Structure 1
């Protein structure tokens, strides 16, 4: 159930930093949820920040360029984020196991991270099972029932050379109970290993969240509205997705229509939910699955940003055989009754609605009826239209303002981008009351605008705190190479930066009451 204290905090003036887990520093080719995460929480506390916003924390796949938005599970944690230092402290590894590997401190090296983590996790697994601790995994599985299908999905992916589940043998594709039972017995050890990985992840994450609470930091998670077609979720819950009963592949897929940015729209390819079903059993199963998903995510984080929130009001449905999004159509989503049902099942939902792009009055009404804060991106504000909803004078309090997101240029990168009109850059400088046109301090201009705005919450990507350029951006939509790789070297996360950010936070009244009290004493 959601934390009512966190819900109250969303209405207070506060601020935070956006930094993915994989972007944390550390010696093992990728950030993790052990010491690097704890140290970053210390930094946020010292800087007077209330929130740490992350990206989805599920497993990633090389086939999808390690995008956290195309995970094989909506519930599982990424084994690459498991702290091997913590395994050493738990006695599951020895000192000589946990060696540093030669890799860049600025870029995630996914192949090296995968090789290292798999090797160390298998060593930890061997030590774990010698202590006859299967009952520990049985208890974990009973509290996280999704892990049984997820572990079986991972075993079958390996058995069938990573082929998508809808290409597996018919009895397995259709989940024949006798066939799956035989496979579970045959691969019992491998299944236990995948459950062990998840046990470690959630055990470590529980410690991370507890530590964040102790340091007055709240975690903002990121919930993609759709799941990957080739995922444990779709394979295990086929009745709730729009699938062809013969091929088990999607009949309609998700995306967005043509707009200013794309003449053909965006064809995402995710299977759509059966929101329009008249079968009450299917509807109940679908809504229960979503309730379980919300409940699970609130075990990990205090607040959830829902990616593509507008899909709950209306979603763009594209026939699966189409190569572009042009020939799709809008279909009504589950709307207000869905969220009211979620509140009955879970409690009040601390949600940030990602309402970027072309948003209709119906979407705005749904968000305001639910009381969810929307998002405003400062980089979108300076086109010369005084009614632009991203300009701070057009905000209301129930807003989360960002200088930019993981999908945008960095602040300095935007200012140096030759495709951005010079007039837009001049307007941005005037808005910040700056007469110079210097690019190197533009991140401070945007930070000033965000923190001084009336928005209850201001979130700044770590790159914009540091004034880094586009070589440090996280993702460029529509591209594959070079995404989800940027890391922040430890030498940039300094006490000097924390002190500067804290001063900014105090100046604009974004220190919450508990920290203001500490400051006064």
Structure 2
């Protein structure tokens, strides 16, 4: 990666009129902001569907896109909706927060209003889209159709005759073609609108960094339609699930519950499913951040149904073989390795073998004792520097809510804060000045927001993934500060630092 910078901003956090950020006008405005401030990258969170808990890292499908992100105003322009439809349905009343309960009801009702006219006169390329994506689209539409017909229950709670894809499940879907068509329609518009938005960004020199979780949800179309990809018993239940070991933050570790891949079985066909997943992801994004990269070297395996994650143990993964197989078919892989957490020499060696840049988190450096590798003077060029990720507190939130007096003092000394300069500004300056080829600023830190703007608190449910930026948040002062950091520290391609006042 060349020396450049970008901004981490979830699509869901964009402003807009339907209760959540979308691929609509506000997304194009955000791209324009990135271009004006000389940013090379827009980093987003996974764009896949979300399930219970609203986490983009727990999806019903590894391939299907989130219908919430559809540009509904385009459906008005196409005649599938009326302008009045956008004002009569509830989407939530707080422009600074996503109300998922209200959104779930209102957004679905809105898109269902488009279905009759869409079915009567679909776009000319709709059939082509369905045929080209049939390998994942058909099972996804069937899975969601059955789920909705059975009260949205998890697939492993369905009647036994529907728990695997076959004649019985197909017959049930045939009895409700409107459900199948709804999901085909929403996936068509998701991909149409995202392709258009990404093209707009690329034309302005902005590349998109996507994010793919290493695992899929237990309640997913992959587990339903392709259980052979996972370690399951005769009844289709996971033999083991993913998590993290006990550490200083939790005496029992984290029990994620995601099914573990049958890596040995995947190796037999050259990791075909992973190759196709990476191929599809590289059509959606310009670069990929792979979450929990260390899990390819070894992963924490917990017996399914264990009381907590402390009952797990480390198991060797496939290493870099997955990426070697993918590179043979896809060429050089533009991947960022999320190499956070418990690192070992073996994990480091795997990352070095792939050549993928790793990540550095400045906030960790202040929380650690002594000379931490997360402090910028320890960085190397083939890394991506962050103040924090979507899982961390904002810089101001960290200072106000959880930083110890020693950590605050360490940050103030290390950052050499000027009079009136906030810790968020100092942290942004530190990663911009670092030798890391790439630095990614969080939008909340550029705006100087506290933890009310935090995206996610790991191991909690109910208040995450909600923050939205207000429509007037990006001021000329914010733009000037970001532009100054980018140009001063030579992260603008071909740029020169500004002249000092005489």
- 1:434 is displaced (CA, Å) by 2.6
Across the two proteins, how many residue pairs are aligned to each other? 495
1:45 aligns with 2:45: no
Correspondence list, 1:375-390, <5 A: 375-383=359-367, 385-390=369-374
- Which of 77, 83, 86 is equivalent to 1:95? 83
1:467 aligns with 2:455: no
Residue aligned with 2:193, SS: helix
Correspondence list, 1:32-431, <5 A: 32-61=22-51, 63=52, 65-99=53-87, 103-131=93-121, 136-145=125-134, 146-176=136-166, 178-246=167-235, 248-277=236-265, 283-284=267-268, 287-383=271-367, 385-417=369-401, 419-431=402-414
1:317–1:331 Cα contact (<8 Å) kept: yes
- 1:144 is displaced (CA, Å) by 1.1
- 1:286 is displaced (CA, Å) by 7.7
Deviations 1:5-58 (A, max 9, x none): xxxxx2x11111111111000111111011111110011111111111111111
Residue aligned with 1:268, SS: strand
Residue aligned with 2:432, SS: helix
1:429–1:435 Cα contact (<8 Å) kept: no
* Residue 463 (structure 2) aligns with: 482
1:19–1:461 Cα contact (<8 Å) kept: yes
- 1:500 is displaced (CA, Å) by 2.0
2:270–2:325 Cα contact (<8 Å) kept: no
Q: TM-score, normalised by structure 1?
A: 0.91
Q: Distance in 2 between matches of 1:77 and 1:174?
A: 23
- 1:236 is displaced (CA, Å) by 1.2
Q: Distance in 1 between matches of 2:26 and 2:274?
A: 32
2:146–2:173 Cα contact (<8 Å) kept: no
Q: Tell which deviates more after alignment, 122-131 or 75-84.
A: 122-131
Q: Which has the higher contact order (CA 8 A, sep 6+)?
A: 1
2:119–2:181 Cα contact (<8 Å) kept: no
1:240–1:283 Cα contact (<8 Å) kept: no
* Residue 13 (structure 1) aligns with: 3
1:405–1:461 Cα contact (<8 Å) kept: yes
2:5–2:491 Cα contact (<8 Å) kept: yes
Q: Tell which deviates more after alignment, 307-316 or 490-499.
A: 490-499
Q: Tell which deviates more after alignment, 321-330 or 150-159.
A: 321-330
Q: Distance in 1 between matches of 2:207 and 2:455?
A: 22
Deviations 1:73-97 (A, max 9, x none): 1111111111111111222222222
2:213–2:292 Cα contact (<8 Å) kept: yes
Q: Distance in 1 between matches of 2:368 and 2:241?
A: 36
- 1:316 is displaced (CA, Å) by 0.8
Q: Distance in 1 between matches of 2:269 and 2:163?
A: 20
* Residue 500 (structure 2) aligns with: none
Q: Distance in 2 between matches of 1:493 and 1:284?
A: 51
Q: TM-score, normalised by structure 2?
A: 0.95
Residue aligned with 1:376, SS: strand
1:449 aligns with 2:430: yes
- 1:132 is displaced (CA, Å) by 5.6
- 1:406 is displaced (CA, Å) by 0.8
Q: What stretches of structure 1 of length at least 5 have no aligned partner? A: 1-9
Kindly tell me: are residues 148 and 479 of structure 1, through their superposed partners in 2, closer, same or farther at Cα, counting changes over 3 Å? same
Deviations 1:297-336 (A, max 9, x none): 1111111111100000001111002121112111111112
Root-mean-square deviation (Å): 1.9
Q: Distance in 2 between matches of 1:479 and 1:310?
A: 22
Q: What stretches of structure 2 of length at least 5 have no aligned partner? A: 498-502
Residue aligned with 1:183, SS: helix
Deviations 1:483-510 (A, max 9, x none): 1100000111233322221111100000
Kindly tell me: are residues 107 and 179 of structure 1, through their superposed partners in 2, closer, same or farther at Cα, counting changes over 3 Å? same
- 1:379 is displaced (CA, Å) by 0.5
Q: Distance in 1 between matches of 2:177 and 2:95?
A: 38
